[in-house]
Every structure is written in structure tokens, then in C-alpha cells.
Amino acid sequence: MLFTYLRRVGMGLIRMRTGKRFGGLLISVILALLGFRYKESVFTSLTGWFPGIPTWLCFGIWGLVLLLPVFYLGAVGGHEAKNPYEAAFAAVGFKSKDGQYPFLVKKRKEKKSRRFARKEKKRKEHYIFSSTIPMSDWVANKEKLETALDCNILHFEEGKSKRITRLVTVPSECRIPTMINWDDSKLSKKEGVVVLGEGAIETISFDLNKTPHMLAAGETGSGKSVILRSCLWQMICQGARLYMIDFKGGVEFGKRYEQFGEVVTDYERARDVLQMLVKENKMRLDLFRDLDCKNLPEYNKKTGKHLARIGLACDEIAEMLDKKGADKEKRAILEELEGLLSTLARLSRATGINLLLGVQRPDANVLTGQIKNNIPIRICGRFADKSASEIVLGNSSAVYLPDIKGRFLFKLGNETVDFQAYYFDDDINLRDDVAVEQGNMLLDEAGPSRSTREEPAKKREPLAGRRKKEAEQEDGGGIILNGLVYTGDGDEPSFDDEMPF
């Protein structure tokens, strides 16, 4: 009995956080303080009103006055104390071992997000339940719970207490697709914006001009590398210069990516590239400061120049930063690489030098604070253990993701969103006959300071901004259809050919 009442008091405290009924609590506290301060007056008044009243009864009434805030919280916590979802849980047989149904602590609808375009009636709802049911049982009974609550559950989250479970849901008509093939119609028209996939009620994207770096984590087969290549392709179509670090001998990116940027396969060359980018970044910072430009687009707009966005991609960052088992010489190079990468992560937010990093097995010794804390975009696939999820996201949500290839969590700031990543197939989507014009680097203008191993940037016909063109026109040796340049290699497409994207 006492435990039940204390639980109601606790519920009342939780409901006080919303600001509702706070006035009543304030009044009860004031009355209790007055009763404590003017004890003698209370006793005098009672004996005056009720002559012959026993002293013990006066103490009892006085004590009740002091406990007014507790009684008020109990009343608030007990309001609608009958579990509104008890019948729903009973219908699907979801209860604890002692026969208790989860108790609704709080239910709230998400506010409109500035980051994602959502319709008013299709916002997410958060259910917070208190129970002794372990998280594994919640996850195992996902379909039953969706039936009981008439919704689709995006993911489960643990509270600070193991008795608290949070369900992030959307209306039952909203679902996350299980497979979405990439096609170039999904390219953003805005420079620097990269789209990743589809959530239940939103398209997931981010703006490199505002959030410059990305970390994608996922176990083997999760689709992490597919996300990375999709991002690279979008940067290619926007005219960015790319440097792709692949210490697996270039297998991950392959020769086809070499036409769009340099594929780095050894540590010495990686060091040269990072040193060059740090120097380029310093020159850009100085130039932007002199011209009072806040970022790359503002500089290009103000000067009329085409300073290139630069993408540095690494599919497995552990190969660059993990020093375990390294000899003295290699350790020295790895430490230098880590320092250069940390510098770029910290200082290249405005200069248009963007890091796209992947990791298969997150480790606190590999993802140091200086690097991780300066990467605002976190993308995380399913992990079997909580530690990996907590390193990437700061919570254990990735453990409870459904085992669907391409299903990820997107975290930016405090918001975590489930989504299905676009499936980017190199054989279909990496178009060798599509050309884009890359911008310039300040080091190009400063003279031949780059390594001779780096080939000069290729000049390509711009693609972004011309995708709506349906007219057929001659352009050098190729033909432009729908904004794509065909070089004439192989079969010539006719004007009526269906475009394969």
C-alpha cells in the first residue's frame, strides 16, 4: 500500500516536469511552510475553534498541513491512475512475470522538426512505460506491441533506469521501406546537400555546408560501404574533388573510382595527401577571413570563382588509426595521420573540406575524442553489443535495430532517426560516361606544390543543375540527354531510349 502511494507521488513529480499543475504544488508548499513557521498559531486556532480538542489531534492536523505537498503530488500522480493501455496489453498478452502490465509514464508527440519536412498528422510519438519487463522481451514482441498501440514502432530505447522503456513510433500507415534503389533523380539541386535514404515520414539528408563531416558505422554486410559510395557519387555530381583512402589495396573503391579522384593505397601517400589538405585548409581559412566569407558557397558567390569542395573518404578508419601491433616506424606514421585528421576535423568546418569516414568495429582507442567529437553526422547500423552503439551514437539504440540490410540510425544533435539507406550499385549507378567539372584548389593557383604522383584534376561537363534538361544537343564528341553526357563508347542511345535510372 505504501509502495503504491509512493509510486503515485513519484508519478506526480514526473508530471510536474511538464509545467502542468505546478501552481497547485506551489500553493501546497507555501501552506506547508506557513504551517511550519506558525505552529503555535495553528495550535491556538484549533483549540479556539474546537475547545477541548486533544493535543495529539492538534499535532496530527498540523502534520497533515506539513504533508500537503506530498498529498498533492499523490493526487496528481494518481489522476487517471488506471493504466490507459492495460486493456490493450491484456489483449495481446504482454505482461511481466508477476502479471503486471506496463504503466504509461508519459506520451508525447514530437514537435515539428526544422531539419525534416513532416506533415502535422505524421509526426512521431514517444511512449514511455515503466515495467519490470526486460528490453529483450519488448523487442521480441514488437509486432504484438504495434497491434496493441496501433502504430509502427521505429525503435526502442532504454531509460536511465532499466524499468523505463521508450518507444519511438509513427502512425500505422507510415512504414520504412526495406529496399530503395538509388537513381540520379534523387540528387539534390542544392550544392553540398547529400541525401542518404528514406525514413518513415521523411527523406534523410544533411548539408555539408552546415554539418561538414560524417561517420558511418556498421558490421560486415550492413551496407555501410554502400552509403559511403552513394555520398561520394553525389559529391562527384556536384563537382567535388575526391581523395579515397583504401588500405586494402584499392579493392573497396576499385579502378573505376580513379577517374573521379585519387585512390590512396599506402600510408606514406595518405600522409602526403593529409598534409596537402591541411595546407589547403589553412590557405582557405586565411582567404575567407580576409574576404569576410563564412563558408565555401559564400566565397564562390562573392568572388565568382569555382573553389572546389574536397571530399576525403576512408571506408575503414581503423586501418588508419589503430596502432595495436604496429612497429615503431608504422606507429610514427599512424600518429602523424591521426594528428592531421584531427586538425581537419576541427578546422575545416567552413572551408569545404569534408571527411566521410567509415568504421566496422567502433573502438574508443581508434575513434579518439578529438576526431569523434568534431564529426556531427553519425550513421549507425545494427550492432550486437551496446558498447559499439554507445561509442557512435551515445546510446544503445543500434542494438535494437531490425536485422534488415541497409537499415540505419541517423543522428544529428539530439535527434536520432531510423531510415533505409539508398542502395547504390556501382555496376548500375556509377556512370563512367557521366562527366562533371571539378573546381579549383588554392594550391593549384599557388604553383606546383602537390606531389607529382597526383594527376591533374580532370575537367568534366557539369551535371548538377542540368538534370531537368530534356533537349538533345551536341557537346563535343558526346550527346547530352537528361543532363547526362554520353561519350559514344559502345551502343549509341537513341532519343527514345529509356534512361536506366
Give the residue ranges of the annotated binding site for ATP. 218-225
Q: Which of 293-303 are b and which e, b meaning 16 or more Cβ less than 10 Å from the residue's Cβ?
A: bebbbebbeee
Grid coordinates representing 95? Answer: 505482461
DSSP notation for 92-125: HT---TTSPPPEEEEEEEPPPPSSS---GGG--E
Number of residues written out for the chain: 501
Task: Give the burial string for 147-172 (b: 16+ CB within 10 Å, else e).
Answer: ebbebbbbbbbbeeeebebbbbbbbe
Whole-angstrom Cα distance, residue 156 to residue 136? 10
Whether residue 227 contacts residue 421, with contact meaning beta carbons closer than 8 Å, is answered with: yes
For residues 249-288, one letter each, b for 16 or more C-beta atoms within 10 angstroms of the residue's C-beta and e for the rest, the string is: eeebbeeebeebbbbbbebebbbbbbebbbebbebbeeeb
| Beta carbons within 8 Å of 335's beta carbon, 6+ residues apart | 323
Q: In angstroms, what CA-CA distances link 172 with 92, 288, 360, 364, 411? A: 17, 49, 33, 38, 23
Q: How far is CA 275 from CA 12, 311, 375, 449, 465, in A?
A: 58, 15, 20, 11, 33
DSSP 366-412: TS-HHHHTT--EEEE---SSHHHHHHHHSSSGGGGS-S-TTEEEEEE
Place of cell 532499466: 162
Residue ranges for the known binding site are 218-225
Give the whole-angstrom CA distance, residue 400 versus residue 155.
7
CB 252 within 8 A of CB 322: no
Are 354 and 312 in contact, with CB atoms under 8 Å apart? Answer: yes
